[in-house]
Amino acid sequence: MPPRKRLISRRAVVFVAIVIAAVVGGVASIALAVTQAHQSHPPTGVRVRTSGATLATARGPQLVFRNAIPDKTFGKVAFASLASPDTTRTLTDLTCDRVYYAHGSGLCLKATGAFANSYRAEIFDSRFQVRETLKIAGIPSRARVSADGRLGAMTTFVNGDSYAPGNFSTRTTIVDLQSGEPLGNLEQFTVIRDGEKFKRRNFNFWGVTFARDDDHIFATLGSGLETYLVGGSIKAKTLHVITTHLECPSLSPDGTRIAFKQSLNSHGSWRVYVLDLKTLKRHPLAETGSVDDQVEWLNNKTVLYWRGSDIWKVPADGSGEPKVFVRQASSPAVVLTP
């Protein structure tokens, strides 16, 4: 276990507030689902199937997501045609708090136990059958899978090794999804800033996104009052500081841009931006509401994200306006190849 981190900052206080809000929100969502289990219904115009269909038999590009209809199906992993995702959704038997899927492999993070006081990661296939189960250290926060389905990344809130009041921090681990073996905790990686080794006692990492070579990644590094975009090599276990003041990066399909959330104040409010990796110039998107999510790219022109109870879409160039993409859903993953 890493050494205890003692520095307390405004970012630390906000971090704890976010964690507490996430826990309380999760409990409230579960309570709502239980209360409405026999009285709620899908959004108007949405058909729900439980036929046992799988991605292996689905036709065309799909969207995998977490179902948020407030009934007994709340939290089930679902999928729908990418062409019309808000008309028919197929529910699976898999229940997750965070989910992501790509090219035959999925990563499901979930709370378990009578009081949701233990946590695990489940690696599943295109039939939504669990291949491997891993114990994880804390509350599920972010999950990502590489484009070819070989690697996964998971971030959890951990109680017991933090700089913050209440002892919360993050732990981010890269996993081989074929074997289930961990490939490294990002806290074990060397970080380089301005050509020199950068190390502080209060480092936290979260929000990994993969390049297409199964080696290079981008992630958030948080330290004190600042957040950094870092990028580097899994094999070399080295990350380089690229720029500052952004969180939860998501690499565009063409590899040229990063979509991310940027903190607006000290009260847990974020705006979605896009960064050009060549020029390091950034611009805000048309969504002006607070978005606490790791953005997903629908394609090179449009991004998806969760806000409120729905998945939204908005142009990546800053034009247009946000529109609901899938009602009562979260954790979107665009699947071009089942």
Domain residue ranges in the chain: 10-335
Model confidence at 5, pLDDT cuts 50, 70, 90, reads very low
Phi then psi for residue 98, to 5 deg, are: -135, 140
DSSP state of 300: S
Q: How many CA atoms lie within 13 A of 123 on its CB side?
A: 25
CA distance 25 to 55: 30
* pLDDT surpassing 50 at residue 144: yes
Return the residue matching tokens 């800053």: 318
pLDDT at 52: 78
Model confidence at 1, pLDDT cuts 50, 70, 90, reads very low
CA distance 312 to 280: 26
DSSP state of 170: E
Spell out the alpha helix ranges (H) of the chain.
10-35
* pLDDT surpassing 50 at residue 288: yes
- Provide mean pLDDT across the span 186-209: 93
Model confidence at 21, pLDDT cuts 50, 70, 90, reads very low
- Provide mean pLDDT across the span 111-134: 90
Give 219: exposed, middle or buried? Use CB within 10 Å, 0-12, 13-18, 19+.
buried
Q: How many CA atoms lie within 13 A of 62 on its CB side?
A: 24
More confident of the two residues 44 and 8: 44
pLDDT at 40: 60
More confident of the two residues 197 and 24: 197
Cβ atoms of residues 151 and 176 within 8 Å: yes
Cβ atoms of residues 48 and 89 within 8 Å: yes
Answer CATH for 10-335 from 2.40.50.140, 2.120.10.30, 3.30.530.20, 3.40.50.2300: 2.120.10.30
* pLDDT surpassing 90 at residue 15: no
Model confidence at 163, pLDDT cuts 50, 70, 90, reads very low
* Distance (Å) of CA 292 to CA 321, 330, 334: 18, 11, 19
Closest CA to 170 of 127, 125, 136: 136
pLDDT at 168: 57
* pLDDT surpassing 80 at residue 200: no
More confident of the two residues 160 and 47: 47
Model confidence at 202, pLDDT cuts 50, 70, 90, reads confident
Beta bridge partners of 132: 123
Cβ atoms of residues 284 and 318 within 8 Å: yes
Give 223: exposed, middle or buried? Use CB within 10 Å, 0-12, 13-18, 19+.
buried
- Provide mean pLDDT across the span 274-299: 98
CA distance 322 to 308: 13
Calculated CA dihedral for residues 146, 152, 158, 162, nearest 10 degrees? -60
* pLDDT surpassing 50 at residue 93: yes
pTM of the full predicted structure? 0.86
Closest CA to 45 of 11, 89, 83: 89
More confident of the two residues 113 and 172: 172
The continuous run of DSSP H or E covering 121 comes out as: strand 118-124
Helices (H) and strands (E) in the chain, counts: 1, 27
- Provide mean pLDDT across the span 227-255: 97
Tell me what the pLDDT averaged over the chain comes to. 87
CA distance 2 to 158: 12
- Provide mean pLDDT across the span 249-274: 93
- Provide mean pLDDT across the span 192-213: 93
CA distance 78 to 90: 5
* Distance (Å) of CA 181 to CA 1, 79, 83, 161, 173: 18, 27, 35, 23, 10
Return the residue matching tokens 């399909």: 253
- Provide mean pLDDT across the span 184-190: 94
Return the residue matching tokens 């007994």: 72
* pLDDT surpassing 60 at residue 265: yes
* pLDDT surpassing 70 at residue 74: yes
Calculated CA dihedral for residues 25, 31, 35, 41, nearest 10 degrees? 50
* pLDDT surpassing 80 at residue 20: no
Bridging pattern class, strands 238-244 and 226-233: antiparallel
